[in-house]
Amino acid sequence: MAPHDAILGWDEDTNAAAYDAFTRAHPMYNVTSRDLARRAGLSDVGLVVDLCGGAGATARAILDHIPPGARVISVDNAAAMQRVGRRTLIDSRLSWITAPAEHLADHVAHGHIGAVVCNSAIWKTDIAAVFAAVSRVLRPGGRFVFNIGGGFAGIRHPDEQAVSGGPSLNTLIHDVAARDYGYIAPPKSADAPPKLPLETITCELAAAGLAVVDTEIVAQHSTMAEKKAWLSIPVFSRPEGDFTHAQRMRILETAYAQTTPDAPSVTSWLVVVAERREPPA
């Protein structure tokens, strides 16, 4: 049994509150959400889906981009995240559906959605099922816009490569855990292929009837202080293994003390814009 203070998964109230607080205090999710909303071409849509929308960070950006009279549906399978969103993001244009991304087509009218936006979450879904569901609900020409972390996509932005101010906070966390708790990190194969490279994404989209119209490798700039705040969110805390959340936070504090708060931290993202193909004549 997990320790009483361990936080497990997304559907937990403490985690949901911490995640929502981070999105409001730090720019990371606001910046990525606005970037995706801009790429989605929302000026003439009537209905937009915020897929894996969590507590509503991306929905907030979408609401700022849609025309008068348009609506947003936020879909997520974690009820705890949506409970936070319903309390903190009250807008008559926004509705919430608690369901897995793979079941999107069971809850949304087919062929009527102008755009589907998914920020930072495609990696945790069954992409074949999700892409098929998105294709069913999008109108012809409707856009599907999402991003994939560089580690999953197997890409690195030049800005990330240029930052070399010492070990990363993740590396320091593992070093502290090894020193103070005897932690042994699971082995990683240097030759292991990325899980979601663009080639795989393109093929799966095409199989679902979606065509890639644009891709870009972008850099997300932050600081060690923001990275530390992000790693304080229970679901993101490190290292993996049999640690309580309190232990992980002590490890994080010790590791963070070895850094400079305003030191730059850069992560890479692959942004993909796809469109629903017109049906054959």
Please list the pLDDT of the chain residue by residue as tens digits (281 residues).
Answer: 333 333 457 899 999 999 999 999 999 999 999 999 999 999 999 999 999 999 999 999 999 999 999 999 999 999 999 999 999 999 999 999 999 999 999 999 999 999 999 999 999 999 999 999 999 999 999 999 999 999 999 999 999 877 766 788 999 999 999 999 999 988 876 678 999 999 999 999 999 999 999 999 999 999 999 999 999 999 999 998 889 999 999 999 999 999 999 999 899 999 999 999 876 54
- Report the distance separating Cα 260 and Cα 3, nearest Å: 32
pLDDT score, position 279? 63
What SS3 state is found at 175? helix
Q: Which residue has the tokens 């972008």?
A: 218
In degrees and rounded to multiples of 5, residue 243 shows phi and psi of -120, 145
Q: Do the strands 94-98 and 138-149 form a parallel or antiparallel pair, or are they unpaired?
A: unpaired
Q: Which residue has the tokens 């923001």?
A: 226
- 277 close to 140: Cβ distance less than 8 angstroms: yes
- 211 close to 278: Cβ distance less than 8 angstroms: no
For 81, the token pair is 């995240």
Assign domain 13-276 to its CATH architecture: 3-Layer(aba) Sandwich (3.40)
pLDDT score, position 86? 96
For 236, the token pair is 């993101």
- Report the distance separating Cα 85 and Cα 78, nearest Å: 11
Residues whose CB is less than 8 angstroms from the CB of residue 120 and which lie 6 or more positions away in sequence, other chains included: 29, 32, 147, 149
pLDDT score, position 4? 32
Radius of gyration of the chain (CA): 19
- Report the distance separating Cα 243 and Cα 188, nearest Å: 20
Structural domain boundaries in the chain = 13-276
What SS3 state is found at 246? helix
- Report the distance separating Cα 159 and Cα 201, nearest Å: 24
pLDDT score, position 2? 36
- Report the distance separating Cα 24 and Cα 154, nearest Å: 29
- Report the distance separating Cα 51 and Cα 32, nearest Å: 14
Q: Do the strands 47-51 and 71-76 form a parallel or antiparallel pair, or are they unpaired?
A: parallel
pLDDT score, position 165? 65
For residue 174, count CB atoms less than 10 angstroms from its CB and return exposed for 0-12, middle for 13-18, buried for 19 or more. buried
